[in-house]
Amino acid sequence: MSKEIEFHFKSPKDSPGYLLGQLTMLWQRKLKRVLDPLDLTQTQFVLLAALGWLSKKSDLVTQVDISNQSNSDRMMVSKVLRTLEEKAFITRQEHKHDTRAKTIKLTTNGEIVLQKAIIEVENADLEFFATLNTDLSLFNKNMAQLIDKNKDL
């Protein structure tokens, strides 16, 4: 008989990490179904959405800005932005003030696909999280708190 493995939690349903992982996989599966017809991955959508948010306040959005807004690795952001540029959803141009940076902008096609994706993803979110009803605000607040506490790891 092999040695019994010991866990801190009595069952998987007591483990917040396990539950978060399961929830994340289910949610990502749902988003894949709505983003596939738009030729977007979830990561591409997140970066386009970050660019969309940032573009509301500035015409000089950089790759670093997008990385910071989305809490994403800078090298991964660079690779995904290249793919989005190949799909003609964004353009990258020399920055007006910082020669080391590029300004990232949505193309007309990028704006169209992002708007469609936002509608699809927001509807998917509303459906997916509907069971939380009035607890959704507290759930969102708790997630935001966890993000703020752990984003520098």
pLDDT per residue over 99-147, tens digit each?
Answer: 788 899 999 999 999 999 999 999 999 999 999 999 999 999 999 999 9
Token digits of residue 75: 């090298």
Environment class of 18 (CB within 10 Å of its CB; exposed 0-12, middle 13-18, buried 19+): middle
Looking at residue 48, what is its pLDDT? 98
| pLDDT at res. 1 | 61
Which backbone phi and psi does 98 adopt, to 5 degrees? Answer: -120, 105
Tell whether pTM > 0.75: yes
Domain ranges of the chain: 41-150
The residue among 43 and 4 whose pLDDT is bigger is 43
- For the domain covering 41-150, report its CATH number: 1.10.10.10
